[in-house]
Amino acid sequence: MEQKQFDKIVDQQTPKTPLFVNMLKAFLVGGIICTIGQLITFFYIRFFPFTERTAANPTVATMVFIAMILTGTGLYKKISQIGGAGSAVPVTGFGNAVISASIEHKPEGYVLGIGGNMFKLAGSVIVFGVVSAFFVALIKTILVKLGVVSW
Amino acid sequence: MISSLITSFVVGGLICVVGQILMDVFKLTPAHTLSTLVVSGSILDGFGLYEPLIDFAGAGATIPITSFGNSLTHGALAEAEKHGLIGVLTGMFEVTSSGISAAIIFGVIGAFIFQNSKTTY
């Protein structure tokens, strides 16, 4: 069988991913999570001395706390089955990746299990975030020093 | 208040749609998708484009993982402005600490409270 024929058969046999439906679900689930975040932001601005700028930090921490409860009770798995990227892209998905890894590897011990595996799934986000931030900031700082752009 | 809830819903939802497209159309794994979004967030802040989005959408821009890349770059740039090139290295986690520290702390607490079952993934 030629490679082209083979590819065609593979194409026919794999179930079509309903792209539009997936996008709609991701939009709704991600949107709802961000709306909850906005409500928490309002809460911190109203009842604590935070401004709109600084309220983002406690909001993120609260969302990760909620992610812990949902992950531990198994609800986040159900949400992510519906939401796809809608549940993975918000910071709750980052929290879910860290927390589920640490719960899963707990039997291997506190140091080697939890400590060693906590960032197994989420580590790449931190690594590439830091590396790209380093190069972006480095390039911009050099450009500012050369007088090409301003802060 | 209602209007900012709607903008955060729409903007946050749209960023998640971008993630879904990366997964479905470009066939990236979730880890690749999230890394791509973080890198885009940090590049957007290099051009000074992410902060206006936060002003516009609030939590719609701060909750998605793109804001993680944004705040890493933002901390590095703010420190570089004060102390020069070395600030790029030292200022990195200045702004973004809460997401990582919360994930570590609640990860350990969660492991103490909850038992491993097939439902956590």
> Taking CB atoms and an 8 Å limit, are A68 and B106 in contact across chains?
yes
Q: Which of B13, B72, B85 minimises the CB distance to A28?
A: B13
Residue B83 CB coordination number (10 Å):
13
Task: Please list every residue in chain B whose beta carbon sits closer than 8 Å to the beta carbon of residue A30.
Answer: 12-13, 15-17, 19, 64
| CA distance to A96, A104, B69, B112, per residue, from B35 (Å) | 16, 23, 9, 29
Contacts of residue B42 in chain A, CB cutoff 8 Å? 129, 132-133, 136
Cβ distance B99 to A94 less than 8 Å, yes or no, reads yes
How far apart, in Å, are the Cα atoms of A118 and each of A49, B38, B115? 33, 19, 15
Tens of pLDDT, residues A74-103: 999 999 999 999 999 999 999 999 999 999
Give ∠ CA A73-A78-A82 in degrees, rounded to 5.
155
User: What's the pTM value of the predicted model, to 2 decimals?
Assistant: 0.89
Q: What is the mean pLDDT of chain B?
A: 90
Percent of chain B with pLDDT over 90: 74
